A = this chain, B = another copy of it.
Amino acid sequence: MRTEFENYLASQTDLPGETIRHISSMATVRRLHKNEVLMNAGEICRHKVFISDGLLRTYHIKPDGNEHILHFSPQHTWTLDVESYDNLTPSLVNIEAVERSTVLLWAKPDFDKLLKDIPELKKFSERLISRTVYNNRNRILTILSGTPEERYADFVNAHPDYLTRLPLRMIAAYLGISLKTLTRIRHAQLQRGARSMVK
């Protein structure tokens, strides 16, 4: 699992192998079962998390019990609640494994030290933050402007593999539409598919 991370970092940066192994050696490996919680809302996010393998989701539960998914974190991405991590405040979100996953965890003081000691890691980290800003910006635009049909089509295009990996209710909770609406959209698509086969 460390090798997985080391190969990833070698492909993304010009860091020498020795430095990469040092960064990797500071992490703890943790295996998560399907649906296992990595962090609950109310806790303080004390780790940077790299997903070696599997799929995590970050979600929020409203007082009325409704769940809303902020994002999914597939293999070879990072996740954390950045506001809680930066300011050591209780998190508003939960982070959980959608399927069996393996993650690498760095405690904040350790990762802060790595960032201080390794300027190229700091630059790489800044690039990741920028990408988060772009992604969130685009997600806001999609949610604001897309019809439920467009949002679903975008989602299928962007992540075709998620359709078989995620229960429908999670896709609905990510798209911000009801399960009923999502079922109706998929049903209409299937019917269109069947009609075009008959022709």
Which residues of chain B have C-beta atoms less than 8 A from A118's C-beta? none
Q: Please, what's the 1-or-0 string for A90-122, where 1 marks a CB less than 8 Å from any CB in chain B?
A: 001000000000000000000000000000000
Q: Is the CB of A141 within 8 A of B70?
A: yes
* Shortest Cβ distance from residue A115 to the other chain B in the assembled complex, whole angstroms: 11
Query: Which stretch, A28-36, A49-57, A130-138, touches the partner chain B?
Result: A130-138
Which residues of chain B have C-beta atoms less than 8 A from A136's C-beta? 133, 136-137, 140
How many residues in A have their beta carbons less than 8 Å from beta carbons of B?
Answer: 24
Which residues of chain B have C-beta atoms less than 8 A from A82's C-beta? 130, 133-134, 137
Partner of A140, one of B129, B130, B133, B140: B140
Report which A residues bind B (CB closer than 8 A): 60, 62, 66, 68, 70, 82-83, 86, 92, 126, 129-130, 132-134, 136-137, 139-141, 143-145, 176
Which residues of chain B have C-beta atoms less than 8 A from A62's C-beta? 145
Q: Is the CB of B83 within 8 A of A144?
A: no
Report the nearest B residue to A175, measured CB to CB.
B144
Partner of A144, one of B126, B137, B141, B176: B176
CA separation between A41 and B66, bound complex, in Å?
A: 36
Which residues of chain B have C-beta atoms less than 8 A from A140's C-beta? 70, 136, 139-140, 143
Q: Is the CB of A143 within 8 A of B143?
A: yes
Which residues of chain B have C-beta atoms less than 8 A from A133's C-beta? 82-83, 129, 132-133, 136
CA separation between A136 and B77, bound complex, in Å?
A: 19
Q: Is the CB of A141 within 8 A of B86?
A: no
Residue among A82, A83, A86, A137 facing the most chain B CB atoms (10 A cut-off): A137
A70-B141, A136-B137, A143-B143 known; 14 new pairs, CB 8 Å cut-off, are: A60-B145, A62-B145, A66-B145, A70-B137, A82-B137, A83-B133, A83-B134, A83-B137, A126-B126, A129-B133, A132-B133, A140-B140, A143-B176, A144-B176
